[in-house]
A and B are shown apart, each in its own frame.
Chain A
Amino acid sequence: MRKLIIISAFLLAIAFQTAAQRGLNVAKIFDGRYAKLPQAVATYVTGEAVEKYDIRIYRSLSMSCDPKTSAEVEQLVLKDGLKATDKETVFKGGHLRYGSFILPRQNNDNRYIFFVNKDANSGNSRKRITVVYMAGEASPDKIKSLINCEKSK
């Protein structure tokens, strides 16, 4: 009976451990209530439009929101950032102004999260934030050149 319980617990632990690696906290940003807020702009792109950049999926959310919502989103990003293998962060006024996170590979995908809060240390009552998630075969250098390339367009 004891062996039975141990084996079942072991298998369940494997299942949940595996599942936890698959799920990201930023999924709550894109799939949750934040995307439905007024003035929120959410994009979801897969297929040919991004495959040329070796990206399998691109998701973003930009919005102007109250400080409480901004802080919630920031926390979700930082939670995933804890697992990052590579990161660049800039904090201003105690809040994340800019974050770039490279997450561990999963299912042969490199995964990237970017976060910007243009009003991190401003006294503005509205915070303009942008969260971007990308996954695919693209290397970090390719992602950098994509970002720079899109800016120069």
Chain B
Amino acid sequence: MTDCNSHNNMPDKKRIKLLIDRYFDATASLEEEAELRHAVASCNDAEFDEIRAVLGFMAVKRGKQRKINRRHSMLTASAAAAAVVAVVAFIGLSDIGSGDVHSPGTCYAMVNGSRIDDEAQVLSLMQAGLSDICSEASDANGYIESQFNELCNSINDSKQ
């Protein structure tokens, strides 16, 4: 660091003081603020210690704020991306019956690779399927009942 008036390219004290006044009056332009920062940084005059301290604090604060803003915007962007992925995954992975939400009143059957659209035939096939279920359901109830009876008989036999 050098004395403010010693180097030809450094701004003189008068200029620095003017810039300081304008800075604290909040009338300094961005260029003047930058000039002031450069001037006090390259000048070791004790008179400007105070302004040097203020500018240093503001620089650190600005730097931290930029970091916070960058972190915040990255966080927001990531959360938004994750939300989009969540929505797409929710919609995209369809369940067994979701397609029919958009196509009400569908009725068809595929038999040996051929499509049948005749409602009566399709309903007849539906009935056949349900009949299969029914006969087995009845048998299942029969099994359960017979096993309960066996259990009851065993319990009764053991009591005797």
Listed in ascending order, the chain A residues whose CB lies under 8 Å from chain B are 3-4, 7-8, 11-12, 14-16, 18-20, 22-24, 26-27, 30-31, 35-36, 38-49, 56-60, 62, 88, 90, 97-98, 100, 106, 109, 114, 116, 118, 130, 132-133, 135, 144, 146-148, 150-151, 153
Cα distance, A147 to B23, chains bound together (Å): 87
- With a CB–CB cut-off of 8 A, which chain A residues contact B94? 22-23
Q: Is B96 an interface residue (CB 8 A)?
A: yes
**How far apart are B52's CB and chain A's nearest CB, in angstroms?**
34
Residues of A within 8 A of B123 (CB): 45, 49
Task: Bits for B114-156, please: 1 = Cβ < 8 Å to A, else 0.
Answer: 0000010011011111111111110110011000000000000
Give residues of chain B (45-102) contacting chain A, Cβ–Cβ below 8 Å: 74-75, 78-79, 81-83, 85-87, 89-90, 92-98, 100
What number of B residues sit within 8 Å (CB to CB) of A?
51
Can you list 5 A-B contacts with CB-CB less than 8 angstroms, sorted by A residue number?
A38-B113, A45-B122, A97-B136, A100-B133, A148-B134
Which residues of B line the A interface, CB within 8 A? Answer: 74-75, 78-79, 81-83, 85-87, 89-90, 92-98, 100, 103-113, 119, 122-123, 125-137, 139-140, 143-144
